[in-house]
């Protein structure tokens, strides 16, 4: 079976800092996603990529950059961390648009 690995599991940053989150999958899936999950809210799509070197903005892309370096990896950068920000960032992958995305366990971000 495959796995989606997100690193780091926990990330503590300072206000204004640039922070990078990484995601690796070994399912050989074409499509990868980054979602943000806030307490009491559903997941919101930040970026997705339907193939290597492709990038598509989701509804929440402002304040973030993404990079699909190769088929198996998808990185997300918080360009300037906001004070007191707390959220979970979830990476997912799928074969295509009709397969349910499979999720990693998330990176928990806290900004001091």
Partner 1 sequence: QQKVQQSPESLTVSEGAMASLNCTFSDRSSDNFRWYRQHSGKGLEVLVSIFSDGEKEEGSFTAHLNRASLHVFLHIREPQPSDSALYLCAVASSGSWQLIFGSGTQLTVMP
Would you give the DSSP letter of residue 62? T
Closer of 80 and 110 to partner 1 (Cβ): 110
d(C-alpha 80, C-alpha 97), whole Å: 31
Minimum CB–partner distance for residue 28 and partner 1 (Å): 18
Tell me the β-bridge partners of 47: 34, 57
Window of 21-29, 60-68, 77-85, 102-110 that interacts with partner 1 by CB under 8 A = 102-110
Expressed in angstroms, the distance from the first to the final Cα of the chain is: 38
Closer of 84 and 96 to partner 1 (Cβ): 96
Taking CB under 8 A as the rule, does residue 1 contact partner 1? no
Residue window 31-70: x/- pattern of binding to partner 1, with contact defined by CB under 8 A: x---x----xxxxxx--x-x-----x-xx-----------
Alpha helices in the chain (DSSP H): none
Closer of 83 and 86 to partner 1 (Cβ): 86
String of b and e for 53-91 (b: at least 16 CB within 10 Å)? eeeeebeebeebebbbeebbbbbbebeebeeeeebbbbb
Q: Interface residues with partner 1 (CB under 8 A)? A: 4, 31, 35, 40-45, 48, 50, 56, 58-59, 90, 92, 97-98, 100-106
């Amino acid at each position: 079976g495959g796995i989606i690995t997100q690193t780091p599991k926990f990330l503590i940053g300072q206000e204004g800092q640039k922070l990078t989150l990484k995601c690796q999958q070994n399912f050989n899936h074409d499509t990868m996603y980054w979602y943000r999950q806030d307490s009491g809210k559903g997941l919101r799509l930040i970026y997705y990529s339907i193939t290597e070197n492709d990038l598509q903005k989701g509804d929440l892309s402002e304040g973030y950059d993404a990079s699909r370096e190769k088929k198996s990896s998808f990185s997300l950068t918080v360009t300037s961390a906001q004070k007191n920000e707390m959220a979970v960032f979830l990476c997912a992958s799928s074969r295509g648009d009709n397969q349910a995305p499979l999720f990693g366990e998330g990176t928990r971000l806290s900004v001091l």
